[in-house]
Amino acid sequence: MRSLSAWLGLALTSLVAAAPAGECAHKVKESVSPPRGWIKGSPAPTDHDIELRIALPQSNFAELEQHLWEISDPFHPRYGAHLSKEDVEALVAPHDDSVQLVEEWLASHGLAGDALSRSPANDWITVKVPVSLAETMLKTEYHIWTHAASGDSLVRTTSYSLPEHLVDHVDLVQPTTMFSRFKRMSTTYNSLQRQSSIMATDPGYIPDPSAYGGQVNASCNATITPTCLKQLYNAVAYEPAAAGVNKVAATGYLDEYANHEDLQMFYAALLPQAVGSTFSVVSVNGGLNNQTPAEAGVEADLDVEYAFSLSYPTPATFYTTGGSPPFKPDDLEPTDSNEPYSEWLSYMLSIEDPPQTISTSYGDDEQTVPYSYAKRVCEDFAQLGASRGVSIIFASGDGGVGDGDPDPATQECYSNDGRNVTEFIPGFPASCPYVTAVGALQYVPEIAANFSGGGFSNYFPRPSYQNSAVEAYLSKLAPGTYAGLYNPNGRAIPDVAAQGVNFQIFWDGSPYLVAGTSASTPSFSGIVSLLNDARIANSLSPLGFLNPLVYALGTISSPAFNDITVGNAPGCGTQGFNASVGWDPVTGWGSPNFGVLKDIVLGNTSALWSA
């Protein structure tokens, strides 16, 4: 029961909240330096619409995180015992007084009822308002900012304020200070080259002890296909047995459309038994999947062709999410949106039965996303892993230790905080400790691809599951190596790797070769989906958040991953980090051995130490 003083305090606070907005004292909530490479232009049009997403403090995220660690730890008694959706929502639901105060503030500006939309846990409130009202509510001024190198424009501000009594009841409001351009990983694919023939036909085999039957088709050194990946990662003999329950998905953003006809051509050439099968399309926030051939996306086709072929006949879904930050001043109906992860996450957290494996090949430099926003998006990923056992898999990036530019010669590795000092640039969301980041490999035997994104987060501290692996790697570096260029105590990426060069795809009706971590990511995801199939077929829970399992296996030197010890990924005017024995910030623990992993996840502990 509340004391009289508590009731009086709440009543007085409510009266302040209900007062006209202009009479409330405001306090700066967030302020950033003008971001490097962005030019401030004219004031934003007053009638330009913005979808403000307001994050309320989550009541008990620390407890949710503890649950996540325990149910993801293969040596913990609770391994695989995922929480219910309702349990997670109860843990992250904001306190009632936060909800009440924020709703009263919005109502004081005429925003209530159907004007508001809420996340399932009520920890996000979304409202569409014109710039003129947003400026009044946040005591700020929005301008049109243009990215000099690309020409992209955003409607943003570098500082905003809230009524003083709300500062502790709101974690963040966006879009305000976020200048992320949210792009495909280095144009998603590191390279694109049209093929004059369907595939290389080099005769013979390459010996590879960890591959299926101990060998790989020699043609795989010139062209990667689903057959190559199944041979390399020891998955040839497995037939999915839980296709009625297990599901796999790929995500699409920025008007990237997955073309059904291209997929059928891919299947006809490389997986004939799958011809006629297709994927479901789910639209999020008005996302489209235009089937006009010229509208097919290289990234979207790559993602669905590899994630879905490797896991065939597992039911597959392509999530197409509408909305992207760039503002077009000449658009007749301009609406500025948040970076689309938030839209997609909001949808995923609202559904009961999401796919168990989800592949994403998009991201941006970590420093372009305000810390407050990156933290909340990352915590939403944790909700998916904890409540529904979803394995969330992201590309680590294509710029080595650099800023995402695949050409080391043109990378600009400067801090975005006004200091303009040289430093390595990690990517986000790969740097989130609740997702699995995938680097890129090439050739047989495998070595690191020279563009594989890796490094250390400047936002997120190193999670405990990484401690021994990362410390072992850092201890092998010569004293002073890259001192001051990276944060040795940050979350390290990538976690794992897979082939990422010379992938055969069909796009716009023709065969092409592509490369990038955006090829590695759906490939690794396809293998994870097969592992989930094996568990579900044996009445076990899906794997969910993968990293504690991955690092546990790596630490005990299990043959579950093929260690990559050759190569490096240059960037920022340096040779970058090098691949080495054990975990490294270029290839993580290396590529998967499905046969060994399957035995392990089904409980055969003898597989931990013998291939």
Q: Which residues are catalytic?
A: 299, 303, 518
Token look-up 């024995």 returns 581
Q: 328 in helix, strand or coil?
A: coil
Contact by Cβ (8 Å): 503, 520: no
Contact by Cβ (8 Å): 490, 459: yes
Token look-up 């501290």 returns 461
Quick one: how far is CA 401 from the chain centroid? 18
The H-or-E segment that residue 446 falls in is none
Rounded Cα distance, 611 and 609, in Å: 7
Q: What is the DSSP letter of 117?
A: E
Which conformational region is residue 497 in: left (phi greater than 0), alpha (psi within -120 to 50 degrees), or beta?
beta
Rounded Cα distance, 247 and 215, in Å: 30
Rounded Cα distance, 488 and 161, in Å: 34
C-alpha to C-alpha distances, 491 to 158, 269, 388, 427, 464, nearest whole angstrom: 27, 41, 24, 11, 9
The H-or-E segment that residue 183 falls in is strand 183-184
Quick one: how far is CA 155 from the chain centroid? 24
Contact by Cβ (8 Å): 185, 364: no
C-alpha to C-alpha distances, 75 to 347, 414, 554, nearest whole angstrom: 32, 41, 14
565, two tokens: 């010890």
Look at residues 122, 137, 127 and name the one whose alpha carbon lies nearest to residue 56.
Answer: 122
Residue 413, phi then psi, degrees to nearest 5: -105, 75
The DSSP bridge pattern shows strands 335-336 and 391-395 to be: unpaired
In three-state form (DSSP H/G/I as H, E/B as E, the rest C), the secondary structure along 457-472 is EEEEECCHHHHHHHHH
C-alpha to C-alpha distances, 392 to 21, 286, 319, nearest whole angstrom: 41, 22, 14
The answer on whether 114 is annotated among ligand-binding residues is: no
The answer on whether 73 is annotated among ligand-binding residues is: no
Query: What is the identity of the amino acid at 60?
Result: N
Neighbours of 400 (CB within 10 A): 32
Rounded Cα distance, 272 and 268, in Å: 5
Cis preceding linkage at 494, omega within 30: yes
90, two tokens: 């109860």
305, two tokens: 């062709």
The answer on whether 582 is annotated among ligand-binding residues is: yes
Q: Concatenated DSSP letters for 483-527?
A: TTTS-TTEEEE-SEEEE-SSEEEEETTEEEEEESHHHHHHHHHHH
Q: 562 in helix, strand or coil?
A: strand
The answer on whether 563 is annotated among ligand-binding residues is: yes
Contact by Cβ (8 Å): 93, 121: yes
Contact by Cβ (8 Å): 556, 474: no
Please enumerate, by residue number, every residue annotated as part of a binding site for Ca(2+): 563-564, 582, 584
Please enumerate, by residue number, every residue annotated as part of a binding site: 563-564, 582, 584
